[in-house]
A and B are shown apart, each in its own frame.
Chain A
Amino acid sequence: MSPTGLEQLLATKEVVVFCGSGGVGKTSVAAAAGVTAATRLGGKVLVLTIDPAKRLASALGLEGFGNVEKQVPAEALKAAGLEPRGEMWAAMLDTKASWDDLVLRHTPDTETAYRILENRLYTNITGRFVQSHDYIAMERLFDIHATGTYDLILVDTPPTRNALDFLEAPARMADFFGGRLLRWLTLPYRMGGKRGTRLLNVASRPFYQMADRILGSQFLQDIAEFFLNFQSMYDGFVERANAVEALLHDRRTTFAVVTTLEGAPLREAEFFCEQLVARKFHLGALVLNKTLPGYLLSPEGARAAEAMGADAGALAGALAELDGSELADVERTTRVLRTIGESFQNFAVVAKREAELRTELARQPDVVATIPNFEIDIYDVAGLARIGEHLFD
């Protein structure tokens, strides 16, 4: 492990993207890195988070929705025993609002903007279209970065089916809105002159007849109308998607892959590390989260646990000699000792599995941080600071 942990990385980069499969604790790790960076490194630090647990959100002052960045009050950091040198900011991602902003920015006039905003297909896409979260997260990052307000931006990535989806989101969005198919599909409507009026002789071709039969002409018309309007913002959109992509590849941007030491998340993390390198993104750190304590692997512990089970009766007898009533019941003490020994052995099995998975990790970045499995839920600034200590040291 590098002597500096994540500290060096956070001190030199402007954007750190935390990624990994669902349930590994990306949000807490990103927030913890933010609290610790603001405390130790100073400057203005922003954590852009997607869907934090409610208690964590309120700890960061992120109650209610909206796309506005909010400062975590210095008092909140001080109350947790920290002496912040810088400022900690946090923002949540509101996908729908971000899309609406995007439409308003890129459309040539308000009329077109509102036609898009009111289109049924648009409402559906932005409300439910899975991939739209990925894109909008990156888009928002670009936006905030471009303002130059923050020294460091930490991004918590949305839960995706595939951890790579959000990397490809900008390019895919550009393809999507610029594709030839789109033009083809909207052809009868475009040739009709007036928006939404379909040119019949084109529409009578077999392809369109088939499409009508399957989907119904009303639906096709909705699609056509939506894309005709959307095309007006195509240029701005593509330019923007390319800029977002460039920012992700920039030297000032790095990626931190978060994982637990469990089979499936770890495999995904490895795959992700490989892909980041293959696509020439900067892989800065690997964070092993929620790991079991190392003492579970100690040979002395294993021996004692075994003896505790095997000699439980004799041990209980010796313990009954002690003053105090709790250990007087030899039978009860025997049972408790057996349980304790067995529990150690149980957890040792899991700890061994974790250790093996860890040594099997093929590609590792220079910085690998290990965070223990905290016995309590982390939902306040003090808890985040504890995670942060493990990230930094």
Chain B
Amino acid sequence: MTAQPDLLGRRLLFFTGKGGVGKSTVTAATALLAAERGKRVLVVEVDAKGSLPSQFEQGPVGFEPRPVYPGVWAMAMQTEESLKEYLRLNLKVPVLGRLGPLARVLDFIATAAPGVKEILTVGKCCWEVRESIEGRADWDLVVVDAAATGHIIGQLDAPRAIQELVQVGMVRTQTDWLVELLSDPAITALNVVATPEEMPVNETIELVDRARAELNVPLGAVIVNRVLPELFTHADEDVFSALRRPEGEAVLAERIGTGAGTVLEAARLAVSLRRTRAVHLTRLRETVALPTLFVPYFFVRDAGLRITRMMADALAEELGV
């Protein structure tokens, strides 16, 4: 196992993962943890599903960052707003008068040409980081709930793809600093969230391979979410087997009722679920060669801030911060 990465020491963290693995919760928990360690954090939700602010028990956020927790500001990516901001800052044209038809055309191109929508997204995240580094904004850390595994390469590779497509012009110059910032391991890290199940692990392994081959963005850590507890040590397991034999179960049933058998069956299920998943965990660790952080399965009823906190604590322990 590799040494734990100094994730909170960077400026820009992207989180990706297969759908349904808890990417938004991990993103929110990382932001919460960094804020509790004294940082000013901007969280960016890229797929505007609104699930990110709900991790802080807050309603939807817009393009303008809004505080959602002490030290944490959240914003939802809106490419059109991002474009307007870009034009205002870079073109220095009277945007309001001209933007009408131009925005429609660019929106159209954004749908047609892969990379435009993505670069407006990645560009905005990078821009916030650069402004902070140069003292014009004061985020210590920008945390991005980024695209899912299937789309993240396209998203982060957009600046380079645009460089290939657009040979000259302003956009070309603009992509140069983006590529540089994204590839700096002191600043940026791409992190992958997975659960110990077959498909999320497969996608993680594939993504890490592809990222190493195709992407010039440094990889940070793999975060394995919903890890079931190991109930028994090897010796305990013999005790468990003995309890499940008819004589053992009879003693228990006599004293605590017929529910004893049900409870033993539930423990057998727990052991079995853990075992099936352990195989995938081992495969993941042996294949990706990246620092791996484990977050336990939380047996609680509610989602929201409580889970975000529990996860932040688990991450703190794993990161040693």
Residues of A within 8 A of B (CB): 21-24, 53-55, 120-121, 124-125, 128-131, 159, 161, 176, 179, 181-182, 184-185, 206-207, 210-219, 222-223, 227, 260, 262-265, 293, 295-296, 298-305, 307-308, 311, 314-315, 318-319, 322-324, 326-327, 329, 332-333, 335-337, 339-341, 343-344, 346-350, 352-353, 373, 375-377, 379
Contacts and interface: CB of A to CB of B under 8 A. Distances in A.
B66 interface: no
Contacts of A299: 259
Interface in B251-273: 251-252, 255-260, 262-267, 269-270, 272-273
Given A21-B20, A319-B251, A340-B264, A349 B259 contact: no
A120 B165 CA distance: 8
Contacts of B243: 319, 327, 333, 336-337, 340
Given A299-B259, A344-B262, 9 more contacts: A176-B112, A219-B169, A295-B265, A303-B257, A305-B263, A305-B266, A352-B301, A373-B273, A377-B197
Given A211-B102, A301-B262, A23 B172 contact: no
Given A340-B263, A343-B270, A326 B238 contact: yes
Interface stretch (B147-155, B181-189, B284-292): B147-155
Contacts of A343: 229, 231, 266-267, 270
Given A125-B112, A210-B98, A304-B259, A340 B267 contact: yes
B74 to A, nearest CB: 17
24 contacts: A21-B20, A22-B148, A128-B154, A131-B111, A161-B47, A182-B108, A207-B101, A214-B91, A215-B166, A218-B168, A223-B112, A301-B263, A304-B260, A304-B263, A308-B263, A319-B243, A319-B248, A319-B251, A322-B251, A323-B247, A326-B239, A343-B267, A347-B269, A373-B273
Interface stretch (B26-34, B130-138, B198-206, B308-316): B198-206
B321 interface: no
Nearest to B48: A161
Contacts of A305: 259, 263, 266
A349 B256 CA distance: 21
Given A302-B259, A322-B247, A336 B276 contact: no
B235 to A, nearest CB: 7
Q: For the complex of A and B, list the 6 residue pairs with the smallest distance between their C-beta atoms, beginning with the closest.
A: A22-B19, A23-B20, A304-B259, A216-B169, A300-B259, A301-B262
Which of B169, B197, B200 is most buried by chain A, counting CB atoms within 10 A of its CB? B169
Q: Could you tell me the dominant secondary structure of chain B's interface residues?
A: helix
Contacts of B242: 322, 324, 326-327
Contacts of A130: 150-151, 154
B321 to A, nearest CB: 28
B272 A315 contact: no
Contacts of A353: 301
B202 A215 contact: no
Given A176-B112, A263-B303, A315-B256, A344 B154 contact: no
Given A315-B255, A324-B242, A293 B198 contact: no
Contact of A210 (B102, B104, B238, B257): B102
A303 B259 CA distance: 7
B263 A346 contact: no
A23 B20 CA distance: 5
A293 B269 contact: yes
B248 A23 contact: no
Contacts of A222: 165
A316 to B, nearest CB: 9
B258 A300 contact: yes
A149 B171 CA distance: 50
Contacts of B39: none
A337 B19 CA distance: 37
Nearest to B201: A53
B282 to A, nearest CB: 14
Contacts of B256: 303-304, 307-308, 311, 315
A23 B165 contact: no
B277 to A, nearest CB: 9
B120 to A, nearest CB: 12
A116 B250 CA distance: 75
Contacts of B216: none
A54 B177 CA distance: 39
Contact of A347 (B166, B199, B299): B299
B51 interface: yes
Contact of B299 (A176, A212, A349, A375): A349
A298 B199 CA distance: 32
A215 B109 contact: yes
Contacts of B257: 300, 303-304, 307
A31 B115 CA distance: 34
B300 interface: yes
A318 B255 contact: yes
A22 B148 CA distance: 10
A343 B243 CA distance: 15
